[in-house]
Structure 1
């Protein structure tokens, strides 16, 4: 399971499927708002990396700048298109879990809303 300690590694990672095929690069990291742990990433794919597709981080592993996800490239390519510019809604998250074959949320279950993690870079000479 990936934790808060892995967030910065994810920001520069190249994404590979379980067979070692390159899928694309990490676009954005989405965190569980309750735990702060990374739960989803968007993967930039396409000729110029213009498509962003959500991929679950359950059973994913990160090693240096390599993120290996437990799904294949074709599955990511055909995933539901969901706007990556805001927090995931409960309905969108459920749709993604159902698509990837992850356990859907039980009826009546409460879950923390996911929020987008914004990477910031300290500028040379800047002071806090």
Structure 2
């Protein structure tokens, strides 16, 4: 896995699926609040006048020259929960992002968020 500081340098680069098909452009990183390690990325997708940000897990992601390759196919990523390009993931929607990818959602013991944007 790569460090959050390093992955921020990839903002604006292509995000591709496991077969090398372009999904969109890396917009932001969300870290797991319990470990402060990168957990999800937001990817800018859609038409130029109707962009939105979709979420994709960074587990098993790799970087190459000018791209980040994620371990999920383009359709699954594009169908994931989304937010507007100027939005932030509402705490009530976090669990849906995890469930979309079949991942376990575990908020903090006091109900704290599991994800934080970096």
Question: Which TM-score band (shorter chain)?
Answer: 0.7 to 0.9
Q: Does 1:113 align with 2:114?
A: yes
User: In 2 relative to 1, CA 33–67 (structure 1 residues): closer, same or farther, beyond 3 Å?
Assistant: same
Aligned equivalents of 2:54, 2:99: Cα separation in 1: 15
Counterparts of 1:64-103 in structure 2, within 5 Å, are 64-82=65-83, 85-89=87-91, 91-102=92-103
Instruction: Note the residue ranges of structure 2 that are not aligned, 5 or more in a row.
Output: none
In our comparison, the structure showing a higher alpha carbon Rg is: 1
Q: Which runs of 4+ in 1 moved over 3 A?
A: 108-113
TM-score by length of 2: 0.78
Paired position in structure 2 for 1:47: 47
Distance 1:64 1:5 in 2: 17
TM-superposition CA deviations, 1:16-66 (whole Å, max 9, x none): 000110011011211223332221111111121712111111111122321
List gaps (5 residues or longer) in structure 1.
118-128
Question: What number of residue pairs does the alignment pair up?
Answer: 114
Moved more, 69-78 or 47-56: 47-56
Structure 2: distance between partners of 1:109 and 1:34: 8
Find the counterpart in structure 1 of residue 36 from structure 2.
36
Q: CA RMSD in A?
A: 2.5
